[in-house]
């Protein structure tokens, strides 16, 4: 440092010599080789704020050109024109330290510079102040410094003069624009006092400093310390400096200053931890610092000279010079503040667990350094179980047992972990503050929220001590939940980032030491807008002059505000009438009956809020319904016709039978097949008589079975002769036979059928005319009206016989054995099919104590379908003839002959 001070001193001397003997060109020395010159009064160098007069002169008069003046590029108006070659300009209150004036000749097409000059404005130098001289015990030079005051904008020179108290000058030095100087120490006596005066001057004048009393023993300062090492340790906000000096540390007090790369020096008070160790606090993490250090003599005090105006060297605290700079970078720091946390409950999970969504705010950037690595959610059982969440998340859903009353959340950074923040899960059991009316801002995206406690107390003691508030808000339909934590002494806040036309649900909670209170909620719009569509509407009932309509509530995202009313528009389809409108309050039921004109209608519906009426919904076309009387009449008529048709069908026996046969034909054959019943065999019945009266046959034993053989038609005629019977009918009296009848001893009559085997005939087909069928036929005939059946049977008989034969009634009431089909031993087949009239057979008798009453026996024509088949017969017999003697097998089914019962 001493060598540099010597070099600087010689440079200053050379500059001073050059200024004195070879001065620099004065301001305004710039010259232009143009057709004229400039002159400035009072001078090109002037005091700041002076008024100047500028003369612009050209050597030749040119009428086509105009003389003008520019000051720093701005035109100056002419003050006075002397002649065609000279013009005078005035510059008033010039405040620019350096400027240029140019004189020009201008025409419409060109411009020419005549001359130019530099102007310099400045101040008189201030007197030097705050003179400080100091040296160390081992130094050969004395360093003096001062404050030069305001900038003069002109070169200035300082003369430093040192003289004894008697006035003898021992040192004189001159320097240019400097604020410090180095004086050799050897010219001073240690115990002698000297006067030091600094004089500053420039072309405007001179300024002298106050005398400074210089004594060597009073200006000796401690040696400059050296910083040996910088340590940050585990803390990123504090640094420990180890330093040393050649001085005794007993009476020294260290101080530190530091700065960053882009900052200025800042002095900090350090904490002395021990000899040669000092700590600096309140540092920023991950920051590059430059440290400097000095030591001050704590035994020396300030001595103020209130009597004399002269300054002395003992009027200050003696401190060493600042040491060399030492660089150090502070490490990162871990977060020291707890996170702001909140929770939202979800649905209950499985196995008695409940779903909790934990929310948190990212830590403040000023509270940590480095990067966030993850978040950890700990259960309340000793922080043993935790869930790790990614650094980009701000919420996470976990399943916790119902017994867990609190969770905790911490942030993990590259330089540490924050203290755990508790998430309250328990309800306090009380009510929180009540929200006041929410007030949206006029020209902002903010809603002001305020609240108050019911009563005089903020919180009753049973519900715990109030810790803080939490306010949360979300859009409807539900979107991302937003929230923030508020201090316990707050009673209002604002929520921002809202969107116009969107409904928000705002809720306020009070968090206490016992848990979380019940919320106080309200709905708000930042700004209401018109609805974007109309509600959906449908017509329930449309009568002649009345209509019942119903509409759905408009979706929340389309309301854009609080719906105040609905408007219903009604118009006929032909648009001949004026459109009708009805306004309905939103609080009314969304169903209404309206009086309307007749005919088809077109209906539309709109919704309105405070911002206005929204667009109309889609048109709904409605037609009035037909009168209900016509519909009922048509239904009754159809039912009546259907019942009449069914009744006629039920009364028409042949139709009923055909329907039955058709149903039987559709089913499988085994369902309707009637198998022979052994109980119906006459042989078995004869054996059961056990020797009682024999009938027809003289023997009780069955003849031997003979083989079945096919007979030709001629052989059949020889074996079974044909017997013709003619019967005449009278209304009263016994029947008379005009034709021979084949009659047995028992009185059995064979009517126009061939007798195949008199003594025995095998079972060749299933018997239909059994007792059960006869009884069934009798029951069916009883259900039909007697008169209707008689007329129908008479009509059919007339159609078949053509009136050729009349009916003959035969009464066998005197016969010992009743006439039934079971008594017929065979069928007598004629060679040619004869034509019979209706034969009515009436008979009363008992068989096995059962009364059988046959009304009539209708015989139809027997027709041979094949000459080779003697057993085929197309005629059908309807009755069963029972022989009381002899044995006959069950004969073939007789289908053509129907019984018509005529009540007697």
pLDDT (tens digit per residue) in 123-134 = 999 999 999 999
Q: How far apart are CA 400 and CA 358, in angstroms?
A: 11
* Domain 430-527: assigned CATH number: 2.60.40.10
What pLDDT was estimated at residue 343?
92
Task: Give the number of other Cβ atoms within 10 Å of residue 102's Cβ.
Answer: 19
Q: How far apart are CA 94 and CA 141, in angstroms?
A: 45
* Assigned superfamily of 222-299+317-329: Immunoglobulins (2.60.40.10)
> Could you give the count of Cα atoms lying within 13 Å of 479 in the half-sphere of its Cβ?
13
Structure tokens at 528: 């209401």
* Domain 129-218: assigned CATH number: 2.60.40.10
Instruction: Provide the phi-psi class of 752: left if phi over 0, else alpha when psi is between -120 and 50, else beta.
Output: left
For residue 451, the SS3 value is strand
Q: How far apart are CA 506 and CA 445, in angstroms?
A: 15
**Torsions phi, psi of 553, nearest 5?**
-70, 140
**Torsions phi, psi of 858, nearest 5?**
-100, 120
Q: What are the per-10-residue average pLDDT scores of the chain (904 residues)? A: 48 44 40 75 92 91 85 87 89 92 86 90 92 91 92 91 90 90 91 92 92 90 92 82 88 89 85 90 88 82 36 63 91 88 83 87 88 88 78 91 85 90 87 88 87 68 81 87 92 91 93 90 92 92 87 92 93 78 90 86 92 92 72 82 81 74 73 67 70 47 58 58 47 39 36 40 42 45 42 38 37 39 37 38 37 36 36 36 41 38 37
Q: How far apart are CA 331 and CA 239, in angstroms?
A: 10
Q: How far apart are CA 669 and CA 793, in angstroms?
A: 31
Q: Using CA of residue 423, residue 428, residue 433, residue 439, what is the dihedral sign?
A: positive
Assign 3-class secondary structure to 305-367: CCCCCCEECCCCCCECCCCCCEEEECCCCCCCCCCCEEEEEEEECCCCEEEEEEEECCCCHHH
* Assigned superfamily of 336-425: Immunoglobulins (2.60.40.10)
What pLDDT was estimated at residue 464?
79
Residue pair 239/232 in contact (Cβ under 8 Å)? The answer is: yes
State the span(s) of the chain assigned CATH 2.60.40.10: 36-122, 129-218, 222-299+317-329, 336-425, 430-527, 537-628
Pairing relationship of beta strands 839-847 and 808-811 according to DSSP bridges: parallel
Q: How far apart are CA 344 and CA 747, in angstroms?
A: 110
How many residues belong to the chain? 904
Residue pair 122/154 in contact (Cβ under 8 Å)? The answer is: yes
Given the structure tokens 């002059």, which residue do they identify?
545
Structure tokens at 516: 């979380």
Q: How far apart are CA 466 and CA 461, in angstroms?
A: 9
* Peptide bond preceding 861 in cis form (omega within 30 of 0): no
- CATH of 36-122 given 2.60.40.10, 2.160.10.10, 3.40.50.300, 3.40.630.40: 2.60.40.10
pLDDT (tens digit per residue) in 225-239 = 999 999 987 777 889
The kind and range of the H/E element at 671 are: helix 669-672
* Domain 537-628: assigned CATH number: 2.60.40.10
Given the structure tokens 């139709």, which residue do they identify?
655
The neighbouring-strand residues paired with 405 are none
Q: How far apart are CA 759 and CA 19, in angstroms?
A: 183
């Amino acid at each position: 440092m001493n060598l540099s001070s010597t070099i600087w001193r010689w440079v200053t001397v050379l500059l001073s010599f050059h200024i004195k003997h070879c001065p620099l060109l004065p301001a305004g020395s710039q010259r232009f080789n143009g057709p004229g010159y400039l002159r400035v009064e009072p001078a090109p160098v002037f005091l700041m704020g002076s008024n100047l007069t500028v003369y612009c002169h050209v050597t030749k008069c040119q009428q086509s050109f105009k003389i003008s003046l520019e000051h720093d590029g701005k035109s100056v108006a002419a003050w006075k024109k002397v002649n065609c070659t000279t013009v005078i300009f005035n510059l008033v209150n010039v405040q620019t330290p350096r400027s240029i004036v140019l004189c020009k000749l201008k025409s419409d097409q060109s411009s020419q510079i005549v001359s130019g000059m530099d102007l310099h404005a400045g101040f008189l130098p201030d007197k030097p102040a705050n003179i400080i001289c100091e040296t160390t015990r081992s130094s050969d030079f004395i360093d003096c410094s001062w404050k030069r005051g305001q900038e003069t904008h002109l070169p200035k020179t300082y003369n430093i003069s040192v003289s004894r108290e008697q006035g003898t000058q021992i040192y004189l030095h001159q320097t240019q624009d400097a604020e410090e100087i180095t004086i050799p120490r050897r010219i001073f006596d240690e115990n002698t006092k000297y006067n030091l005066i600094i004089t500053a001057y420039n072309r405007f004048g001179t300024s002298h400093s106050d005398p400074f009393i210089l004594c060597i023993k009073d200006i000796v300062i401690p040696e400059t310390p050296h910083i040996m090492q910088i340590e940050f340790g585990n803390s990123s906000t504090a640094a420990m400096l180890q330093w040393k000096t050649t001085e005794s540390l007993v009476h020294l007090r260290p101080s530190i200053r530091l700065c960053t790369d882009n900052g200025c020096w800042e002095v900090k008070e350090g904490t002395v931890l021990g000899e040669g160790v000092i700590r600096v606090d309140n540092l920023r993490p991950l920051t590059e610092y430059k440290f400097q250090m000095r030591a001050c003599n704590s035994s020396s005090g300030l001595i103020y000279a209130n009597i004399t105006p002269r300054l002395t060297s003992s009027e200050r605290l003696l401190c060493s010079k600042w040491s060399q700079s030492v660089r150090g970078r502070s490490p990162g720091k871990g977060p020291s503040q707890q996170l702001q946390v909140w929770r939202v409950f979800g649905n209950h999970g499985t196995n008695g667990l409940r779903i909790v969504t934990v929310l948190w705010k990212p830590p403040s950037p000023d509270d940590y350094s480095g990067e966030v690595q993850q978040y950890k959610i700990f259960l309340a059982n000793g922080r043993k179980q935790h869930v790790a969440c990614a650094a980009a998340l701000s919420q996470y859903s976990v399943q916790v047992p119902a017994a867990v009353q609190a969770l905790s959340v911490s942030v993990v950074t590259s330089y540490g972990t924050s203290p755990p923040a508790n998430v309250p899960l328990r309800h306090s059991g009380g009510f929180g503050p009540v929200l006041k009316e929410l007030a949206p801002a006029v020209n902002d995206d903010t809603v002001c929220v305020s609240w108050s406690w019911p009563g005089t107390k903020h919180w009753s003691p049973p519900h715990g001590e109030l810790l803080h508030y939490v306010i949360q808000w979300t859009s409807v339909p539900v979107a991302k939940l937003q929230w923030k934590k508020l201090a316990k002494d707050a009673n209002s806040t604002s929520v921002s980032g809202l969107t116009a036309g969107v409904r928000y649900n705002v809720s306020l909670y009070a968090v206490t030491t016992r848990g979380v209170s019940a919320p106080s909620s309200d709905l708000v719009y930042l700004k209401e807008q018109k609805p974007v569509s109309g509600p959906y509407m449908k017509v329930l009932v449309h009568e002649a002059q009345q209509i019942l309509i119903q509409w759905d509530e408009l979706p929340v995202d389309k309301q854009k505000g609080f719906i105040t009313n609905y408007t219903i528009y009604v118009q006929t389809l032909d648009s001949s009438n004026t459109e009708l409108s009805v306004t309905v309050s939103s609080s009314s039921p969304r169903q209404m009956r309206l009086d309307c004109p007749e005919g088809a209608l077109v209906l539309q519906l709109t919704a309105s809020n405070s911002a206005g009426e929204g667009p109309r919904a889609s048109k709904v076309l409605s037609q009035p319904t037909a009168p209900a009387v016509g519909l009922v009449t048509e239904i009754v008529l159809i039912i009546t016709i259907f019942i009449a048709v069914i009744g006629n069908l039920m009364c028409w026996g042949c139709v009923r039978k055909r329907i039955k046969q058709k149903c039987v034909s559709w089913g499988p054959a085994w369902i309707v097949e009637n198998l022979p019943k052994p109980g119906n065999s006459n042989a078995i019945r004869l054996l059961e008589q056990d020797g009682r009266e024999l009938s027809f046959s003289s023997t009780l034993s069955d003849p031997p079975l003979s083989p079945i053989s096919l007979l030709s038609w001629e052989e059949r005629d020889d074996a079974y002769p044909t017997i013709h019977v003619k019967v005449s009918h009278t209304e009263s009296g016994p029947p008379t036979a005009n034709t021979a009848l084949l009659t047995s001893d028992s009185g059995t009559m064979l009517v126009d059928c061939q007798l195949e085997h008199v003594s025995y005939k095998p079972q060749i087909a299933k018997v239909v005319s059994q007792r059960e069928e006869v009884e069934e036929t009798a029951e069916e005939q009883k259900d039909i009206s007697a008169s209707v059946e008689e007329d129908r049977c008479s009509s059919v008989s007339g159609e078949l016989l053509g009136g050729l034969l009349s009916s003959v009634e035969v009464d066998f009431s005197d016969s010992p054995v009743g006439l039934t089909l079971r008594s017929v031993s065979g069928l007598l087949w004629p060679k040619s099919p004869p034509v019979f009239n209706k034969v009515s057979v009436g008979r009363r008798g008992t068989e096995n104590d059962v009364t059988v009453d046959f009304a009539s026996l209708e015989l139809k024509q027997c027709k041979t379908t094949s000459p080779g088949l003697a057993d085929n017969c197309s005629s059908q017999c309807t009755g069963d003839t029972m022989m009381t003697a002899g044995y006959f097998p069950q004969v073939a089914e007789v289908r053509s002959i129907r019984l018509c019962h005529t009540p007697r």
